[in-house]
Amino acid sequence: MIDLRSDTVTRPSAEMRRVMAAAEVGDDVYGEDPAVNALQDAAAARFGHEAALFCPSGVMCNQLWLRVLARPGAEVIVEADAHLVNYERGAGALLAGVQFRTLAGTRGLLDPDQVAAAIRPDRFPLTPTALVCVEQTANRGGGTVYEIDRLEHLRAVTAAAGIPLYCDGARILNAAVATGTDPATYGTLFDGLMFCVSKGLGAPVGSLMVGDADAIAEAREWRGRYGGAMRQAGVVAAAGLWALEHGVERLAEDHAAARVLAEAVAEVRPEVVDLDQVQTNIVYLEPVDAVATVAALRAEGVLAGSMDDRTVRLVTHADVDRAQVGRAADALRRVFAAVPAG
Ligand SMILES: Cc1ncc(COP(=O)(O)O)c(C=O)c1O
C-alpha cells in the first residue's frame, strides 16, 4: 500500500533508530535529559528564539500556547478551517477557557485587514481579543503558505492592538523550504510558535513550543499540569533532533511529489484540483465522491484520506519514494477518469 493519508504515518528510518538507541538520556522532569535539552536548544536556535519545550504532540503545544498567550474568558481570532478549531475536540474552550472567533480566509489564510476589523478592545461588556493565531502551512487550506509580507502585516495589526501573534507551525518547515525562508525570519514575527518533528520530518513522536524564556517557563508549568512532563524522553527527542538536522531539506522532495500527483489528476479531471493551492506536500481533491474515490484508490493500492463527503486529501512524506509517487500518479489517472463527480 502507498499510504498518502498523512505525513504522520512515517516510521523511523534505520539511521534514526540507531540514534534513538544510542541516545544519552536522563530525567527530563529534573531537566536532566541531554537529548531533550539538545533538541530544545536546536529548536530555539533554528527559530531565533530564546527557548523551546519538547511536548508529546502538536495539540498539546497548541493548547499550552493558548494557556500562556491568551487568558480564560478572552477571545482568540483564528481562520475557520484551523486545526485549533476543527480537530482538537473543543480543547481550547475546555482547557484554556478561550472563545474562538473564526474568520473565513482564503485557502486557510487570514486577511490582515479582516483581522484588524475583528479585534475587539478590552472594554466591558465586550469579549476582548487576546490572541491571533495563524497556521503555517494551512493544512485544511491545502498546505498553503503565508508569504512574509502578509505575516508582517498581521504582526503590525496585532502589535497595534497590543496582543500577541501565535503560529501553529505544525508544518512551518515545509513553508520555509517551499519559499526559501530562514525559519528565524518566521521566529521574529511570532510571539510563540510550535512545530512538529513527527510529520514531514519523519520522527515518530513530538512537537516543540518555541518562544521567549518566560513564556516557555510558564508553558513548562502547564505541561506538568496537563500530564505532558516526560522522563527519559531523550529516546524520542534524539529522533527529533536527527530529523531536524537531516530531514528539512528533503521536504522539497515531498513538495515535488505532491505536484506530480496533483498534475496527474489535473490531466484527467482539472475541475477537482486547484494547482495554485498545491504549494507544499498536501493535495486536496474536491468536489469528488470521497467514499467512492477512496475505495477506488485503495483497490489500486493507494491509501487516501477522506476529509468529508466531497473532499479527498493526499499527503506526501518521507516513506513514499519516487517510484511509488509514479505508481500513485498512474492510479490517480485511472481512478479519476472513472469515478463519478462528487
Ligand atoms: C496544522 C496542525 N496543527 C496541529 C496538529 C496536531 O499535531 P499532533 O497530531 O501532533 O497533535 C496537526 C496534526 O495533523 C496539524 O495538521
CATH number of the domain within which 299 lies? 3.90.1150.10
Atom in ligand 1 nearest the alpha carbon of residue 62? 4
Q: Kindly report the pTM of this predicted structure.
A: 0.97
- Testing ligand 1's pocket by substitution, the residue of 196, 207, 281, 284 carrying the most ligand atoms inside 8 A of its CB is 196
Domain boundaries, position 268: 250-338
pLDDT for 342: 55
Tell how far the Cα of 193 is from the centroid of ligand 1, in angstroms. Answer: 13
Domain boundary among 202, 229, 246: 246
Percent of the chain exceeding pLDDT 70 equals: 99
Given pLDDT bands bounded at 50, 70 and 90, which one contains residue 136? very high
Number of neighbouring beta carbons within 10 Å of residue 319: 14
Tell me what the mean pLDDT of segment 113-142 comes to: 97
Cα separation, 100 vs 97, in Å, equals 10
Same-domain check for residues 242 and 255: no
Domain boundary among 213, 246, 279: 246
Total structural domains within the chain:
2
Specify if 286 maps to a domain: yes
pLDDT for 256: 98
Same-domain check for residues 76 and 198: yes
pLDDT for 167: 99
Query: Ligand 1: which residue has its CA nearest to atom 9?
Result: 58
Query: Ligand 1: which residue has its CA nearest to atom 6?
Result: 58
Same-domain check for residues 264 and 224: no
- Using one digit for the tens of pLDDT, what is the confidence trace for 171-181? 999 999 999 99
How far is CA 237 from each of CA 175, 200, 304, rounded to the nearest angstrom? 23, 16, 29
pLDDT for 341: 59
Three-class DSSP category at 207: strand
Tell how far the Cα of 175 is from the centroid of ligand 1, in angstroms. Answer: 15
Specify if 190 maps to a domain: yes
- Using one digit for the tens of pLDDT, what is the confidence trace for 44-65? 999 999 999 999 999 999 999 9
β-pairing, 129-135 vs 165-168, is parallel
Tell how far the Cα of 207 is from the centroid of ligand 1, in angstroms. Answer: 9
Tell how far the Cα of 83 is from the centroid of ligand 1, in angstroms. Answer: 7
Same-domain check for residues 118 and 82: yes
Site residues for ligand 1, CB cut-off 6 Å: 57-59, 62, 83, 135, 139, 168, 170, 196, 198, 207
Tell me what the mean pLDDT of segment 228-237 comes to: 98
**Quick one: cell of 277?**
493551492
